[in-house]
Amino acid sequence: FFQKTLTAVKNWFTLFGWATGQNPVSIPYSLRRDVCKVQMTSSQEKVFEQNLGKDTNTLYDMLLHLSGQLLPGVKLNQSLPHDPTERMLQLHRQHSTLLDFLKSQGAYLSHVMPEFLFEPVDYKRWIKAQTELKVNLKSSDVSSNKVLILEDSIFEAMSKRAWTDVLLQIYKVFVLPRVSSGNVTDQLNLERAQNMPAIKSEPLCSNIYSPYERTILTWLNNNYEKNRKTVWKDCQKGEVPPMRWIVNFDQDLLDGLVLAAQLAAYCPYLISTHFVRMYTNPKTPEEFLHNCFILVNAMHAVSLAIDIKV
């Protein structure tokens, strides 16, 4: 599940995360590596070898494109010190600023520490610096926090998870709020008319989904209920699917029927060519896979540019 989530995040940010068009993202490698751009002086002083070209897209370019805001105190043409320790400390400050900025926008990232966003070599420098600091504090009879030391393989897994969560939260706080809620009232009225329980949009009514995600769930419920009898009235592999309440984005979408109803709402010509061949009450893995193949083929037929695989 985590690998599928990571792949989906990587694909979306590769396609839509940049003002300059598609830009390949690898998690966590390119995000950790592309932390700044070269800022040469007039005398062309030597800059740390990991500083990149002026045309390199960094995380800060992504934030500017998606949020319209610069990270406080961090310039787009930021360069890093040549000294490894100073570089590591500056990166820690930048990562701390990034996490604080995202949290101020509503991101849930309390489990992500700035050092989890480091390259492995900088993480080791951070551990060394913190261990030395702890020894000095103990010698002065001052209490100090415990240093979390991770093995190389565990750190890589933690770093990958941390960067994935950072991107997911960037999507949540800067992309999902663009979802329009203009027709939510009409949708809720339709659901009540059909004796369907309404999905509440109040900010505090769920500790799982944001108001924007619940708006999308309402849209899914609305289109499915409006279209299920039309899409599958002449289905070849069963009867019209029954009414359902769609409350999540994983289990309720597995059989492909809900997403097919959404696509049929905007591309009704796909009904006779694709959707009538779907199983309307799938029970076996083969029937679920069959429906997903038809859905993916339908998306390809209308030239959706997202890299979708079954």
- Domain range enclosing 11: 1-38+53-136+146-178
Instruction: Please state, in angstroms and rounded to a whole number, the distance separating the CA atoms of residues 61 and 184.
Output: 33
Residue 45 is assigned to a structural domain of this protein: no
307 within domain boundaries: no
Residues 278 and 193 in one domain: yes
Report residue 72's pLDDT band, with 50, 70 and 90 as the boundaries: confident
Residue 169 falls within a domain, yes or no? yes
Answering whether pTM is above 0.75, one says no
d(CA 175, CA 168): 10
Q: Is residue 43 situated within a structural domain? A: no
184-193, long-range: CB < 8 A, 24+ apart: 184/215, 184/218, 187/218, 187/219, 187/221, 187/222, 188/218, 190/222, 190/225, 190/226, 191/218, 191/221, 191/222, 191/225
**Pair (84, 191) in one structural domain:** no
**Does residue 202 lie in a domain region?**
yes
pLDDT at 187 over 60: no
Which residue type does 156 have?
Answer: E
What does the pLDDT look like over 259-276, one tens digit per residue? 999 999 999 999 999 999
* Averaged pLDDT for residues 85-92: 91
- The answer for residues whose C-beta is within 8 angstroms of residue 300's C-beta and 6 or more apart is 308
Average pLDDT, the chain: 82
Do 126 and 274 fall into the same domain? Answer: no
19 and 93 assigned to the same domain: yes
Residue 220 lies in a domain: yes
Q: Structural domain tally of the chain?
A: 2
Looking at residue 75, what DSSP letter applies?
-
Residue 60 near residue 71 (C-beta atoms within 8 A): yes
* Domain match, 174 and 216 both: no
One domain, residues 168 and 244? no
Residues 294, 262 share a domain: yes
- The C-alpha atoms of residue 86 and residue 109 are separated, in whole angstroms, by 26
Specify if 117 maps to a domain: yes
